[in-house]
Chain A
Amino acid sequence: MWRSGRAHLASTLVAMSGRDDTLLQRCYLLMLTARRIDEEAVRLQRQGAIVAFPPMAGQEAAQVASILGLRETDQVFPSYREHGAAIARGVEMVAYLLAYRGAWNGGLYDCRRHHFAPIASAVGSHLLHAVGWAMGARLDGRDDVAIAYFGDGATSEGDASEAFNFAGVFRAPVIFFCQNNGWAISVPVERQTAGEIWRQAEGFGLAGVRVDGNDATAVLEATRAAADRARRGEGATLIEAMTYRLGAHSTADDETRYRSADEVVRRRTEDPIARLRALLAARGVEEAFFATVEERAAAAAADLRAGLAAAADPDPDEMFAHVYASPPAELERQREEVRSLRDLEAADA
């Protein structure tokens, strides 16, 4: 559909330098870990351990390789399907997944330590936050960049256009990373926008590029180039990474109502993990490496299951804690009301 994986593999073999071999191996480890954690999370939802979950399988190269193209101090603004990016950033996955258990809206991971903003499910709204953050970094004289992750559906939101426009006007050091996975829940991208998403960049004075989002090396190069450009003060880039959502929109979705099984089977042949594995093998990486990676990824999934089972939800009392820097008197009264109700219930028990 997009570009022949085989043809690109050949060109990549020539283009990639030796120093990237270690990075690509790390990329492979993170991608496979993301896949195994994704699969485990779907199972956990089916077993009732989490409430709902949006699987990411198929988008590992787009998410992991883009993060690896950045510095650790570059600020990430994720949407709600970015656990691949989160894993690549080292975000604690139990704390991340707890958001999908309904433990805390936005997630329970340390968003400051990982420079990884809370999970944004108000589609498209966080693109503007990335622009503002990037403007702030530039005002501070830092050369860190912001990256906002979103899907093809989000580009229909007005906030996306406003974010592109503000980024252009203020030459904000931001990367708009669109994962065009073909579907916004049930609506195919052709019903989302009549044009090509990456071409929107030109109208707003941004750089725009479309890459094979299932090719880790292409994603890595595109993200590095966009980050370098932003750091040089040359402004924002809109990257459209062509990928495919192999699973349903979420565990509450029934994809058979809107797309054929044939389509999914066909797109599985473009699996980014298999492609990176083929590249690494062609570059001489041995079977033992892949076996080790498989073990480590499986262990990460098992750790997630155990960690989630052991993790407690925050005390509901905490709903009052972060509304204001210091709670006003009325809020304190309401909090006391809940506490006294608890005391009554405890006395009854």
Chain B
Amino acid sequence: MPELSMVQALNAALRHCLREDPRTLVFGEDVGRLGGVFRVTDGLQSEFGQARVFDTPLAESGIMGIAIGLAMAGWRPVPEIQFDGFSFPALDQVLTNLAKYRGRSRGAYDMAVALRLPSFGGIGGPEHHSESPETLYAHTAGLKVVAPSRPQDAFDLLVRAVEDPDPVVFLEPKSRYWAREEVSLTPSPAGGARVARAGEHATLVAWGGMVQRCLEVAEAAEEDGVSLEVVDLRWLAPLDEETLVASVARTGRAVVVHEAPRTAGFGAEVSARLMERCFGSLRAPVLRVTGWDVPYPAASAEHEYIPSVDRVLLAVQRVLDA
């Protein structure tokens, strides 16, 4: 198996999809000749041609809108929006049309669109390059939402997202783009959540870039004799409640970690589900360690915004002491 970065694994997934299904199309800003600002689409235009891998004008609503029309014509669009913070001009097309078109046509049209969205912070990006928009999408009926945390999942989940007959918002954690591991290029189903590390005393719940943070926390805690389980949700919609509940029912304690602001963040949903399903097993309140309720700060302050190992450890201490 080749050792690949997440960027390379995503590239391999797109190459796989373009090869396997001649109706797959890749487009967006700078994805053609340049190969994308993160090089996720590197070399795809020269291999598959300008008809199937193409640059678009700089207009996110336009990118999303033509994806919907292409899907209606039976194509399988994989549009890229260059950065999380620039996805909002496309939000109307996503919420008003992409998410609803199957229903509005009473099932006549599949919306087989995989929207790739480099997301989250942690790379010292300029303004609007570090946002966590997952809750907007997970709150919208008709969409699926997924975020990989490692190269293997990036490959498997992207292949799955492209093959899905429904719209999938694919959130790529920029902070993990250059993480490397051996990757099998035979796609596996990658449905539901994944126990990224087994443990006994408490469960850490995360997705995207915060999974790695939680694994670091678990390493640190182990030195103090505390055994933490890390659940990588992967899919926020549909949420794999069973894997989540199975873990927390066993450990009795849970901390949800995300980069997005706390209020009405997806951690609130996880917390509510755990209360509904695991109330009898919980030995402490479910805690959230999140970004603050502020606009994503300038790069100089992001180390105090993104949940750190120490902040998560403090929360772990609180649930263990309860």
Contact = CB atoms under 8 A, between A and B. Distances in A.
Interface stretch (A117-125, A180-188, A271-279): A117-125
Given A158-B61, A165-B59, A325-B166, A128 B105 contact: no
Interface stretch (A51-59, A81-89, A136-144, A291-299): A136-144
A137 B69 CA distance: 10
A175 to B, nearest CB: 14
Interface stretch (A39-47, A100-108, A261-269): A100-108
A323 B103 contact: yes
Contacts of B56: 166, 169
A128 B74 contact: no
A129 B65 contact: yes
Contacts of A325: 102, 110, 165-166
B92 interface: yes
A162 interface: yes
Contacts of A122: 92, 96-97
B1 interface: no
Interface in A233-278: none
A272 B314 CA distance: 75
B136 interface: no
B70 interface: yes
Nearest to B166: A324
Given A106-B103, A325-B166, A128 B141 contact: no
Contacts of B69: 128-136, 146
A132 B61 contact: no
B3 to A, nearest CB: 34
B238 A323 contact: no
Nearest to B52: A139
Nearest to B71: A132
B137 to A, nearest CB: 14
A328 B236 CA distance: 12
B44 interface: no
B107 interface: yes
A132 B89 CA distance: 17
Interface in B146-196: 165-166
Contacts, number: 134
Given A132-B70, A139-B75, A323-B142, A162 B106 contact: no
Contacts of B73: 75, 132-133, 135-137, 140
**Contact residue range for chain A?**
35 or more
Given A137-B73, A139-B51, A330-B241, A131 B65 contact: yes
B126 interface: no
A132 B97 CA distance: 13
B123 interface: no
Given A125-B65, A162-B62, A136 B70 contact: yes
A322 interface: yes
Given A122-B92, A169-B57, A328-B238, A133 B108 contact: no
A323 B102 contact: yes
B70 A128 contact: no
B68 A322 contact: no
A162 B61 CA distance: 8
A110 B109 CA distance: 11
A111 B103 CA distance: 12
Contacts of A108: 106
B298 interface: no
Contacts of B102: 322-325
Contacts of B9: none
Contacts of B100: 105
Contacts of B241: 329-330
B93 interface: yes
A50 interface: no
A112 interface: yes
A230 to B, nearest CB: 15
A165 B97 contact: no
Interface centre among B62, B77, B89, B141 (most CB of A within 10 A): B62
B214 interface: no
Contacts of A137: 73
Given A323-B103, A324-B142, A330-B238, A132 B57 contact: no
Contacts of A221: none
A127 B100 CA distance: 16
A163 interface: yes
A129 B165 contact: no
Given A136-B72, A159-B92, 10 more contacts: A106-B103, A111-B108, A111-B109, A128-B68, A128-B69, A129-B69, A322-B103, A322-B106, A325-B110, A330-B239
The list of the 9 closest CB pairs from A to B, nearest first, reads A132-B69, A128-B65, A136-B73, A106-B104, A328-B238, A132-B66, A162-B62, A133-B69, A129-B69
Interface of B: 25, 51, 56-57, 59, 61-62, 64-75, 77, 89, 92-93, 96-97, 100-110, 141-142, 144, 165-166, 237-239, 241
15 contacts: A111-B108, A112-B109, A128-B62, A128-B64, A129-B97, A132-B69, A140-B73, A158-B61, A163-B62, A165-B57, A165-B59, A166-B62, A166-B65, A323-B141, A324-B142
